[in-house]
Amino acid sequence: MKPGELVLTAPRAKKPPQHISDLGHDQRREVASSLGLPAFRADQMSRHWFGRLEDDPSTWTDIPLAAREALTAALLPTLLVPVRSIDCDGGETIKTVWKLFDGALVESVLMRYPDRVTMCVSSQAGCGMNCPFCATGQGGLTRNMSTAEIVEQVLAGARSLARDEIVGGPGRVNNVVFMGMGEPLANYNAVIGAVRRLTAKSPEGMGLSARGITMSTVGLVPRIHELADEGIPVTLAVSLHAPDDELRDTLVPINTRYKVGEVLEAAWSYARKTHRRVSIEYALIKDINDQAWRADLLGKLLKGRLVHVNLIPLNPTPGSQWTASRKSDEREFVRRLEAHGVAVTVRDTRGREIDGACGQLAAKSV
């Protein structure tokens, strides 16, 4: 065999099967028609799936059995199988590791607060961005997730809440953050599809508010511009982690391509177009990026902008030397940002004792 042939014969990754959550209203109707069914059967199915959060087709008795079976076979392949679920905070934080159709593992987290429920979802199995402090980054990218694989993480949480399976009584999902595994803007089309499904009015979608959805990115500049033009005003969160290129080149390696200045310009342009306040994510790492001078530099860069800084105490990953900042340095960092008039909060570190978000739980389940 010649060397080049290996590449040609390498197995192509199979795509996840098509699922109702991949499709919009018209496409679902087309599938129903292609099965020889009246198009309105697709609407009935959507009402069960998204409207009533009823995932057991045997209860969909308004649809004749044969039609139900045809629709189920065509549009409801099993996409996510729970492998492990673990909770903390008295059951108000629940992480689930899911196995996908090809064996890839991803994770989602449900966080219940007194006034809302936030779901943190994965957009890729693994991640190609290689940030050295992030557990997911260490394993590389396995593959992009499909729109339905992303949406179904949220629907699984919504169903558990609706069925009163979560501490705190029946409830609903209010917020979705793309802060699980993966770089969402590197899987742009599937992620935009998911956002459309999450925000479409029930029963086409889940009827969530775009403002309750946060897209977290390392700063893929062209994609940030594209996102601004989608007309879906999601909240943009930029994982900055350093105000200077020298350090950011090492903490967020894509910075060698899109520099701090360019990423922030894209963020300001996003804020101008969408009128949405941008979040800046900054994991405070002891003696690496938490110096007072860096707080001042960050303050200067952000001063006067429509922005809010989220400081995240580093969640140490196995095998890494890095750890969270001293509380005194964290306080000084906050103080200096505030002195520049920049809004800042230190993120609550839910779920830390059960291995945080950031890929640690899935990594342990392999």
Binding site for ligand SAH (CB under 6 A): 129, 131, 133-134, 179, 183, 216-218, 239, 281, 283, 312, 314-315, 317, 358
Angstrom CA distances, 138 to 64, 128, 132, 361, stand at 49, 9, 7, 13
Q: Alpha-carbon distance 205 to 197, whole Å?
A: 5
Residues 6+ apart with CB under 8 A from 47: 203
In the complex, least distance from residue 271 CB atom to ligand SAH, rounded to whole angstroms: 17
CB atoms under 10 Å from CB of 350, counted, come to 20
Q: Alpha-carbon distance 263 to 266, whole Å?
A: 5
**107 versus 281: smaller Cβ distance to ligand SAH:** 281
Question: Between β-strands 117-120 and 175-178, what pairing exists: parallel, antiparallel or unpaired?
Answer: parallel
Question: Catalytic annotation on 88?
Answer: no
Q: Which of these is catalytic: 92, 107, 149, 281?
A: 107
> Taking Cα atoms as reference points, which of 148, 155, 149, 145 lies closest to residue 110?
155
Question: Between β-strands 213-217 and 105-112, what pairing exists: parallel, antiparallel or unpaired?
Answer: unpaired
In the complex, least distance from residue 307 CB atom to ligand SAH, rounded to whole angstroms: 15
Angle at which helix 147-162 crosses helix 188-199, to 10 degrees, equals 30
Question: Catalytic annotation on 107?
Answer: yes
DSSP string, 142-204: EEEPPHHHHHHHHHHHHHHHHTT-STTSS----EEEE-SSS-GGGGHHHHHHHHHHHHSPTTT
In the complex, least distance from residue 124 CB atom to ligand SAH, rounded to whole angstroms: 8
Burial readout 151-169 (b: 16 or more C-beta within 10 A, e: otherwise): bbbbbbbbbbbbeeebeee
Q: Is 170 exposed, middle or buried (0-12, 13-18, 19+ CB in 10 A)?
A: exposed
Q: Which amino acid is at 299?
A: G
Sign of CA dihedral 155, 158, 162, 164: positive
Active site residues: 107, 358
